[in-house]
């Protein structure tokens, strides 16, 4: 049976800064969806990761369905009203336009959707990250789908051995959507050359070359491309199908032990390790560290099982402890060098204005050094 998995997520306000939504806000959004969406979806799971609320829905309406998207948009509007009443911070933060126009994509909320042929024993993972952007998934996806050091299935499973097709989006500001298809294993170096720059190139989807079936859908919106100014990080959601043609659940999860430095945390402007956390975790240290949660589901005829909280296990306690140290280590160097994002990625205009003021105060030295004079005249210095 054809089934659509849709995740639509937004930050419409949170307690005490950017920590987590209030219980009343979450309940308001969930009640709205259960009431107004009951004829639209087959099943629903509502959760939050940090200050972002995600609606995971199963249905048969295909991707980008206007009715479903409009219902989700209105649920977040209802939530925004409660956020205002409660004085939550950043009420309506991710609802960037005044009125709904057919599809929440490009309007602020993050969307990850795929239409699948439901397998017997359909297993999938729902990831949600806060205080970072969609490129944070680049490395875990590369390792899970293209690196035999991480995923033995690439050697052991004939279907996985045929490799995967990655669709990568160039998300540079001002660009219309530009995408490229790359096939692994033949093009893994090309893929790595793009994925090393997660602020510019983002994995949007991954497909099995054995069956042509979609394995991964990532939300690739960049809020500042939409709003043209700082509006928080994009806080991406992702769906990943597991087992059979695809990597096993454990192969998909294993890369999260790395905790790579990603863009985000305080004011969306720093480099901090990506920490795998339990479901319904808030953020804390330095508005971070960037967090990622994951709920595993099985689904039959569109009905979801209860979620398994995959990062709620003693193994991940040890990882979290190491990544806390890694976070603190980076924070010791404060604003200096690699701790902060490069100028092009800073989310605040204040520093641009400051540097502009300082630039006007720079004075050119009247006398220049002999070597610089020779260089300026174009002569070669022979030693």
Chain Cα centroid distance, residue 263:
10
Q: Which residues bind Mg ion (CB under 5 A)?
A: 11, 18, 50-52, 90, 130, 235
Residue among 94, 88, 109, 84 nearest 17 (CA)? 88
Chain Cα centroid distance, residue 47:
16
Minimum CB distance to Mg ion, residue 48 (Å): 9
C-beta of 90 vs 260, nearer to Mg ion: 90
For residue 267, the partner it binds in Mg ion, ligand 13P, none, with Cβ less than 5 to 8 A by kind, is ligand 13P
Which residue matches tokens 């990831």? Answer: 127
Q: Which residues bind ligand 13P (CB under 6 A)?
A: 11, 18, 50-51, 90, 93, 130-131, 232-233, 235, 266-268, 287
For residue 168, the partner it binds in Mg ion, ligand 13P, none, with Cβ less than 5 to 8 A by kind, is none
C-beta of 198 vs 268, nearer to ligand 13P: 268
What span, in angstroms and rounded, lies between the C-alpha atoms of 184 and 196? 16
Strand partners, 308: 296
Residue among 336, 203, 191, 204 nearest 271 (CA)? 336
Minimum CB distance to Mg ion, residue 88 (Å): 9
**Phi-psi sector, 359: left (phi>0), alpha (psi -120 to 50), beta:** alpha
**In this chain, which residue has its C-beta nearest to Mg ion?**
18
What span, in angstroms and rounded, lies between the C-alpha atoms of 204 and 182? 12
What span, in angstroms and rounded, lies between the C-alpha atoms of 183 and 188? 7
Minimum CB distance to ligand 13P, residue 235 (Å): 5
For residue 268, the partner it binds in Mg ion, ligand 13P, none, with Cβ less than 5 to 8 A by kind, is ligand 13P
For residue 132, the partner it binds in Mg ion, ligand 13P, none, with Cβ less than 5 to 8 A by kind, is none
**In this chain, which residue has its C-beta nearest to ligand 13P?**
232
Where is 24: in which H helix or E strand?
helix 23-36
C-beta of 130 vs 245, nearer to Mg ion: 130
Report helix, strand and coil shares of the chain as percent, to nearest 5. 35, 25, 40
What span, in angstroms and rounded, lies between the C-alpha atoms of 317 and 276? 9
Terminal alpha carbon distance of the chain? 76
Max CA distance (Å), the chain:
81
What span, in angstroms and rounded, lies between the C-alpha atoms of 87 and 79? 12
Minimum CB distance to Mg ion, residue 259 (Å): 19
Minimum CB distance to Mg ion, residue 2 (Å): 32
Minimum CB distance to ligand 13P, residue 89 (Å): 7
Minimum CB distance to Mg ion, residue 9 (Å): 9
- Phi (first) and psi of residue 276, to 5 degrees: -75, 130
What span, in angstroms and rounded, lies between the C-alpha atoms of 109 and 10? 5
- Stated length of the chain: 383
For residue 48, the partner it binds in Mg ion, ligand 13P, none, with Cβ less than 5 to 8 A by kind, is none
C-beta of 105 vs 267, nearer to Mg ion: 267
Tell me the Cα Rg of the chain. 23
Which residues are known catalytic residues?
A: 11, 230, 233
For residue 187, the partner it binds in ligand 13P, Mg ion, none, with Cβ less than 5 to 8 A by kind, is none
For residue 30, the partner it binds in ligand 13P, Mg ion, none, with Cβ less than 5 to 8 A by kind, is none
| The pairing of beta strand 2-10 with beta strand 201-208 | unpaired
């Amino acid at each position: 049976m054809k089934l659509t998995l849709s995740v639509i997520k937004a930050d419409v306000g949170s307690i005490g800064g950017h920590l987590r939504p209030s219980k009343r806000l979450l309940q308001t959004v969930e009640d709205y969806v259960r009431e107004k969406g009951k004829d639209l979806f087959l099943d629903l799971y509502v959760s939050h990761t940090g200050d972002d609320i995600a609606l995971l829905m199963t249905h048969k309406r295909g991707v980008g369905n206007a009715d479903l998207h409009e219902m989700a948009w209105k649920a977040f509007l209802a939530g925004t009203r409660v956020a205002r009443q409660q004085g939550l911070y950043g009420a309506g933060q991710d609802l960037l336009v005044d009125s709904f126009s057919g599809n929440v994509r490009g309007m602020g909320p993050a969307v990850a959707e795929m239409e699948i042929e439901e397998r017997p024993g359909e297993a999938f993972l729902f990831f949600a990250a806060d205080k970072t952007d969609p490129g944070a998934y680049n490395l875990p996806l590369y390792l899970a789908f293209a690196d035999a050091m991480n995923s033995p299935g690439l050697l052991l499973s004939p279907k996985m051995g045929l490799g995967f097709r990655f669709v990568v989006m160039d998300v540079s500001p001002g660009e219309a959507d530009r995408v490229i298809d790359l096939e692994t294993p033949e093009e893994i170096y090309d893929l790595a050359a793009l994925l090393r720059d997660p602020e510019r190139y983002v994995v949007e989807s991954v497909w099995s070359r054995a069956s042509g079936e979609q394995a991964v859908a990532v939300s690739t919106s960049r809020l500042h491309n939409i709003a043209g100014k700082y509006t928080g990080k994009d806080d991406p959601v992702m769906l990943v199908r597991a087992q059979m043609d695809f990597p096993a659940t454990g192969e998909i999860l294993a890369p999260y032990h790395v905790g790579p430095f990603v863009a985000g945390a305080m004011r969306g402007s720093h480099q901090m390790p990506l920490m795998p956390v339990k479901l319904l975790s808030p953020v804390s240290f330095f508005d971070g560290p960037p967090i990622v949660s994951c709920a595993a589901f099985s689904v039959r005829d569109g009905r979801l099982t209860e979620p398994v909280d995959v990062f709620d296990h003693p193994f991940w306690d040890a990882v979290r402890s190491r990544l806390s140290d890694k976070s603190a280590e980076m924070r010791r160097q404060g604003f200096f060098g690699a701790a902060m994002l490069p100028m092009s990625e800073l989310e605040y205009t204040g520093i641009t204005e400051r540097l502009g003021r300082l630039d006007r105060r720079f004075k050119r030295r009247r006398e220049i050094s002999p070597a610089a004079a020779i260089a300026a005249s174009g002569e070669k210095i022979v030693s």
